Chain A
Amino acid sequence: MKQLIELEDHILKKANSEALLLRETLANVGTLVINVMSSPGSGKTETISALSDELRLHGDTVAVLVGDCATDHDAQRLVSHVDWVEQIVTKGVCHLEPRMLVPYLPELLALAPRYLFIENVGNLVCPVDFDLGESIRVSLLSTTEGEDKPAKYPDLFRTCDITVISKIDLAEVVEFSELRARTFLDQVAPNTKTIKVSARTKEGVAELAQAIREVAQRSRGFETSITES
């Protein structure tokens, strides 16, 4: 005898419930979580370092969880720019999943940083569907990778609140067309805020920090921490 059972469960149900746990517990201690996603080498680590320097000037604490398929190079680069950093080595997995972050939760809750940046594995496809408990998604579009990346990977850019046009100091040498990049971005991610940044010259870093602070102030978790402190 055969029997049909309706489930109507999202395939990532388990991952999504872990993401919810991360979001709720971190919001409770006043931590704003930012998921940073972009192509390999587009400037995530360098930009997070510069941004963290800027945020810490204002007295805020910054923690980073950084994912890579192999090596702890990025954690080593970040360590002098942040209050806390751990490297997640995914051994080939092309994206971060909430279960990889959960083991760091007790330490993060004790530290209760103002900001937790999650540097995803460099990849424009696979990280998109995994909620990591973040309140803000930031993508990077580097001037050196081709202006039409948003059109080629619309899903990732669409889900991001902020798109950083990174390595803006190199725009001229690589004949980057800002108009072309903005045209694609506007089609693919009409609600994304765009900020031009150079982690080298620090152009746009203060503006990016301000944009993140503004989102932070709108987010419930952050308000909780302000009223508590």
Chain B
Amino acid sequence: MHEVSLARAVVNTVLDALKDRGIKEQRVTSITLRIGDLAQVDLESLEFAFSFATLETELESCMLIFTTKDAVVMCTTCKQQSPYSMEHFYRCELCGGACELVSGKEFDVVSIELESVGVH
């Protein structure tokens, strides 16, 4: 259910970007997304939802390319960075201090690839 909203958000973000940049007569062939480990997105479900969200839009039959990002936490006390783990969560494995997430929640449209249409 969640992925349907997200697929629609991807479509809106890209369509808005095309409009903002005055891009016309070009077909979007692929969209590259950056998705963090903790973004709570199932890539397969997103892909599936995306194929429906793009029906009858300029993005129909456009490809999704995923790049991922590991979840990393940093201790607010000793500044040690470590991979996020379900053993320690947001507690520092060295000093027990509270940790903050440095990366892992990314959910960005990195880039789009365009192909001219109607140019012969």
Contact = CB atoms under 8 A, between A and B. Distances in A.
- A and B from one assembly? yes
Interface of A: 1-15, 92-95, 97, 125-126, 128-129, 151, 154-155, 158, 186-191
B109 A7 contact: yes
Contact of A8 (B1, B16, B108): B108
B110 interface: yes
Q: Is the interface of B mostly helix, strand, loop or mixed?
A: mixed
Contacts, number: 101
A126 B9 CA distance: 14
A7 B17 contact: yes
A6 B110 contact: yes
Contacts of A8: 108-111
Interface of B: 1-2, 5-6, 9-10, 12-14, 16-17, 21, 23, 26, 29, 33, 38-40, 86, 88-91, 98-99, 101, 107-116, 119
18 contacts: A1-B119, A3-B26, A3-B113, A3-B115, A4-B111, A5-B23, A6-B111, A7-B17, A9-B13, A10-B13, A10-B107, A11-B6, A11-B33, A11-B108, A95-B2, A154-B90, A158-B90, A187-B89
Shortest 6 CB-CB contacts between residues of A and residues of B:
A190-B98, A187-B89, A126-B2, A3-B114, A11-B107, A7-B109
